[in-house]
């Protein structure tokens, strides 16, 4: 049996003010083509389909078009679960009707959920689906006051799963933060003020676990569990993460292997650096349309850096001055106790991370004397 595993589409996402819907449509065109070519027995989308609970209309339209092409156009079975960014009830609307057409959507947490049973030449495969749910929701649905954190709630839900057929291979689709996973800056924490992590041990006993939530594609150590990763790079902390889909193969014994298929972005997200004049005078032949964070190495003040850069690199989203972040820490200074030269020296140190030279201090002092002379003459 073959499964195509994807997650964390975040449709409707905005990166530093830039809407990504066109980039997401480009990536989903590739996903649809890959699914049509590989012909998986099921496509699993492991949560965070949307970027927020009430998505913009263009995000809803893109999801509708993508699912229609997969299910109606290519006659593929698709399994979708809600993530922590999604509204379970909105995403799950019409789920019972859609299931008859091959689209299985798992939104709100339910008690005793039955697995979806598929079959191949080796027998049945039971696919269990656990959308994201807060511990308080789990307590209410299961009428169990015991689960107090995400790990306990996840364990209670696993214990509540309806059984699979005897001898069936078992697959789990889930949206969770597994302890030890590598995070990115673009993920919303599952818990504030407490532990949102689920123990690795919870995933033993499954032939494959299709995970969503963490944006870096990665294998979970010690179990047959994997994060497919996000559809695109959703922060500059992800510039070193190639994005991909996971193609899962099951044989008679269980998991036979997991391969990855790259997703090529319409515009990449990258970090470049250098002096402003160099970046403007010698731009690269390719990649100028990418989403960029520019780390300027100019020590001196630069006027309208982002505007000048965008004339050559249209999608500059952020400009930073790394040398300021490494400036030596200074104690609290009371300017009332400093003369003009000391205030200038402190200001220069804070804005450049370097000490003013004697020549700079002498030039400042000369200008200050000239200004005072003009003020006296004006009076």
Residue of 367 and 326 predicted with greater confidence: 367
Q: Which of 324, 358, 323 is nearest to 341 (CA)?
A: 358
Alpha-carbon torsion, ordered 154, 155, 158, 159, to 10 deg: -150
- Reduced to 3 states (helix: H, G, I; strand: E, B; else coil), residue 261 is strand
Q: In the prediction, which pLDDT does 336 show?
A: 59
- Reduced to 3 states (helix: H, G, I; strand: E, B; else coil), residue 297 is coil
| Gap between the terminal Cα atoms of the chain | 91
Q: In the prediction, which pLDDT does 193 show?
A: 43
Q: In the prediction, which pLDDT does 368 show?
A: 86
Span 193-216, pLDDT tens digits: 446 899 999 999 999 999 999 999
Q: In the prediction, which pLDDT does 195 show?
A: 64
Mean pLDDT in residue range 161-181: 96
Structure tokens that stand for 358 in this block: 């004697």
Could you give the percent of the chain with pLDDT greater than 90? 79
> Is residue 180 predicted with pLDDT exceeding 70?
yes
Helix (H) or strand (E) holding 323: helix 322-325
Mean pLDDT in residue range 71-98: 97
DSSP 8-class letter at 355: P
Distances 241 to 101, 123, 129, 262, 345 between C-alpha atoms, Å = 35, 37, 27, 11, 42
Q: In the prediction, which pLDDT does 194 show?
A: 47
Q: Which residues pair with residue 291 across a beta bridge?
A: 269
- Reduced to 3 states (helix: H, G, I; strand: E, B; else coil), residue 341 is helix
Mean pLDDT in residue range 179-192: 77
Distance CA 108, CA 53 (A): 13
Give the pLDDT band (50/70/90) at residue 14: very high
Give the pLDDT band (50/70/90) at residue 55: very high
Q: Rounded to two decimals, what is the model's pTM?
A: 0.85
Strands (E), the chain: 2-6, 14-15, 18-19, 42-46, 78-81, 103-106, 116-120, 123-130, 169-175, 177-178, 197-198, 208-212, 218-220, 225-227, 244-251, 254-262, 269-274, 291-296, 316-320
Q: In the prediction, which pLDDT does 337 show?
A: 66
Distance CA 356, CA 340 (A): 13
Distance CA 289, CA 266 (A): 9
Q: Which of 262, 282, 250, 157 is nearest to 217 (CA)?
A: 262
Mean pLDDT in residue range 236-257: 97
Span 35-52, pLDDT tens digits: 999 999 999 999 999 999
Span 283-294, pLDDT tens digits: 998 999 999 999
Span 104-123, pLDDT tens digits: 999 999 999 999 999 999 99
Could you give the percent of the chain with pLDDT greater than 70? 95
Distance CA 241, CA 217 (A): 8
Alpha-carbon torsion, ordered 37, 41, 44, 50, to 10 deg: 60
Quick check: 37 and 75 in contact, CB under 8 A?
A: no
Quick check: 227 and 216 in contact, CB under 8 A?
A: yes
Distance CA 239, CA 273 (A): 14
Q: In the prediction, which pLDDT does 23 show?
A: 98
Q: In the prediction, which pLDDT does 335 show?
A: 56
Distances 56 to 84, 137, 172, 317, 327 between C-alpha atoms, Å = 17, 26, 30, 22, 42
Task: Name the one residue in this structure whose structure tokens are 């830039």.
Answer: 18
């Amino acid at each position: 049996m073959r499964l195509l595993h994807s997650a964390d589409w975040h449709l409707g996402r905005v990166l530093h003010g830039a809407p990504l819907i066109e980039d997401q449509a480009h990536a989903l065109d590739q996903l649809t083509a890959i699914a049509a070519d590989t012909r998986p027995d099921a496509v699993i989308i492991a949560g965070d389909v949307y970027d927020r609970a009430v998505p913009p209309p263009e995000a809803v339209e893109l999801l509708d078009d993508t699912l229609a092409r997969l299910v109606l156009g290519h006659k593929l079975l698709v399994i979708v679960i809600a993530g922590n960014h999604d509204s379970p009830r909105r995403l799950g609307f019409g789920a019972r009707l859609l299931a008859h057409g091959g689209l299985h959507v798992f939104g709100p947490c339910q008690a005793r959920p039955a697995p979806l049973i598929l079959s191949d030449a080796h027998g049945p495969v039971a696919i269990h689906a656990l959308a994201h749910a807060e511990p308080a929701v789990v307590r209410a649905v299961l009428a169990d006051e015991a689960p107090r954190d995400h790990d306990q709630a996840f364990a209670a839900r696993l214990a509540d799963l309806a059984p699979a057929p005897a001898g069936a291979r078992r697959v789990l689709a889930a949206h969770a933060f597994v302890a030890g996973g590598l995070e990115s800056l673009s993920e919303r924490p599952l818990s504030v003020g407490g532990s949102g992590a689920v123990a690795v041990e919870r995933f033993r006993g499954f032939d494959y676990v299709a995970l969503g939530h963490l944006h870096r594609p990665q294998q979970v150590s010690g179990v047959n569990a994997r994060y497919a990763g996000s559809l695109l790079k959703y922060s500059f902390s992800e510039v070193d993460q190639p994005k991909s889909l996971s193609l899962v193969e099951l044989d008679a014994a269980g998991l036979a292997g997991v391969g990855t298929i790259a997703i090529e972005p319409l515009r990449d997200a990258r970090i470049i650096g250098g002096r402003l004049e160099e970046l403007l005078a010698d731009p690269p032949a390719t990649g100028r349309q990418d989403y960029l964070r520019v780390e300027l190495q100019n020590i001196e003040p630069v006027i309208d850096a982002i505007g000048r850069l965008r004339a050559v690199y249209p999608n500059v989203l952020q400009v930073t001055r790394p040398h300021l972040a490494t400036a030596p820490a200074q104690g609290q200074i009371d300017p009332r106790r400093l003369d003009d030269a000391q205030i200038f020296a402190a200001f220069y140190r804070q804005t450049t991370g370097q000490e003013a030279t004697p020549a700079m201090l002498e030039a400042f002092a000369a200008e200050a004397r000239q200004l005072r002379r003009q003020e006296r003459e004006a009076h």
